[in-house]
Amino acid sequence: MIELWRGGILESVHAGHAVICDDTGAIVEAWGDPDAVIFPRSSCKMVQALPLLESGAAEAYGLSEAQLALACASHNGAVIHTEPVARWLGSLGLGEADLRCGPQMPDDRDARKALICSDTEPCQLHNNCSGKHAGFLTLSQHLKAGPEYVEPDHPVQRAVRSAFEEVTGMVSPGYGIDGCSAPNFATTVHGLARAMAFFAAADPDGSARDRAAARLVRAMVAYPELVAGEGRACTNLMRAMGGKVAVKTGAEAVFVAILPDLRRGIALKIMDGGTRGSEAAITALLVRAGALDPADPVVARYLTGPITSRRGFVAGEMRTAGGFI
């Protein structure tokens, strides 16, 4: 899908699979193998958040759009992420110790520096998935379920799996344990794109699931800085598209996009797991769909701009491969 050229010689390639679905779940365009089975990783956090809204938990606990954006987030662990999650847990009568995501050194530069300079250890609030886990805890309390909400047979994860299989349109062939210790259910690239098309076409005045999906998309595009953070592709791409498209990355080079105006969903997986390739590929697909202006500086940042040496000399370039876009 994506090539890196240096000195007129092809240096590296990023191969993968991508699918664009319409609101019926049908494939509009595809590259690679639509039936390739993948772990969506964090790209499916909006799917994992569906039961939080469908169950009535979000309404019962008065969750804001900012909190819903955090429930869908893979955040940088900045203060704008950790403090709201801490307050959210406090409103439940819980604390950091009730999370089951594990500690993580934050990606945010200021937060990382503050920890290093104070000789303070990172905590679970800094975990990029702490917002998702706060959502899990909210749902668990609403269901009056136990504290081990990441166990695959816990009511929270059973609800997540049910929603996941319904919106992907297929029975999941299995699950793996994500970096945050929660189950991550496998699907195909087509299944993931089908789920994103469902979110794109969700009626804000429709069924409980439609209303939940529409609200989550609205929260993501309203708070792109909470979904990821400064300097991150998700945040930069959503800002460039003016709140009209939601995008979400996942570990190991998965990326999805929800395009409500077009009632389309996009999913892609770069098989080498390289973030550089997935960011370039989703940028190319968004331009192809007409959702992203090819002249926007964000396109140059992730796809068309030159690769420079540390002294600023042009050293290479990224290109879309022949047959892709």
CATH number at residue 73: 3.40.710
Evaluate if residue 323 carries a pLDDT over 90: no
Return the closest-CA partner of residue 17 out of 29, 3, 4. Answer: 29
What's the one-letter identity of residue 47?
V
Host domain of residue 300 = 2-320
Rounded to the nearest integer, the mean pLDDT of the chain is 98
Q: If you average pLDDT over residues 59-63, what whole number do you get?
A: 98
Distance between CA atoms of 149 and 154, rounded to whole angstroms?
6
Q: Is 215 inside a domain boundary?
A: yes
pTM of the model: 0.97
Report d(CA 48, CA 42) in Å as an integer.
Answer: 9
Q: What is the mean pLDDT of residues 93-119?
A: 97
- Answer yes or no: is 197 within a domain: yes
Tokens for 78?
A: 């900045």
pLDDT in tens, 124-147: 999 999 999 999 999 999 999 999
325 inside domain: no
94 — pLDDT class (breaks 50, 70, 90)? very high
- The 3-state DSSP class for residue 297 equals helix
Judged by DSSP in three states, 43 sits in helix
Tell me the per-residue pLDDT of 213-271, one tens digit each, with 9 for 90 and over.
999 999 999 999 999 999 999 999 999 999 999 999 999 999 999 999 999 999 999 99
Q: Is residue 31 part of a domain?
A: yes
- Region label for 273, one of left (φ > 0), alpha (ψ between -120 and 50) or beta (otherwise): left
Identify any residues that bridge with 320 across adjacent strands, giving them in sequence order.
Answer: 2
Cβ atoms within 10 A of the Cβ of 4, count? 17
CB-based contact 141:52 (threshold 8 Å): no
| 93-162-56-257 Cα dihedral, nearest 10 degrees | 90
d(CA 152, CA 173): 14
**How many domains would you assign to the chain?**
1
Structure confidence at residue 116 as a pLDDT band (50, 70, 90): very high
CA distance 40 to 159: 17
The rounded percent of the chain whose pLDDT value lies above 90 is 99
Q: Is residue 174 part of a domain?
A: yes
Q: Which stretches within the chain are classed as H helix? A: 45-48, 50-54, 57-60, 65-71, 79-91, 109-117, 130-142, 155-168, 189-201, 208-222, 224-227, 233-240, 275-288, 297-299
% the chain with pLDDT above 70: 100
Which residues are CB-contacts of 8 (< 8 A; sequence separation ≥ 6)? none
The conformation of residue 321, written as its DSSP 8-state character, comes to P
Query: Is residue 316 helix, strand or coil?
Result: strand
Confidence grade of residue 118 (pLDDT, cut at 50, 70, 90): very high
Which two structure tokens, joined as six digits, stand for 259?
């395009």
Residue 254 class from Cβ within 10 Å (0-12 exposed, 13-18 middle, 19+ buried)? buried
How would you class 231 by CB atoms within 10 Å of its CB: exposed for 0-12, middle for 13-18, buried for 19 or more? exposed
- Mean pLDDT, residues 302-318: 96
Give domain status of residue 216, yes or no. Answer: yes
Question: Do the Cβ atoms of 254 and 272 come closer than 8 Å?
Answer: no
> Collapsing DSSP states into helix, strand and coil, what is residue 151?
coil
pLDDT at residue 109 above 90? yes
Query: What's the burial of 146, exposed, middle or buried (CB within 10 Å: 0-12/13-18/19+)?
Result: exposed
What single string gives the DSSP state of each residue in 201-233?
Answer: H--TTS-HHHHHHHHHHHHHHH-HHHHS-TT-H
pLDDT tens track for 11-48: 999 999 999 999 999 999 999 999 999 999 999 999 99
Tell me the pLDDT tens digit for each residue of 283-298: 999 999 999 999 999 9
Quick one: pLDDT at residue 325?
81
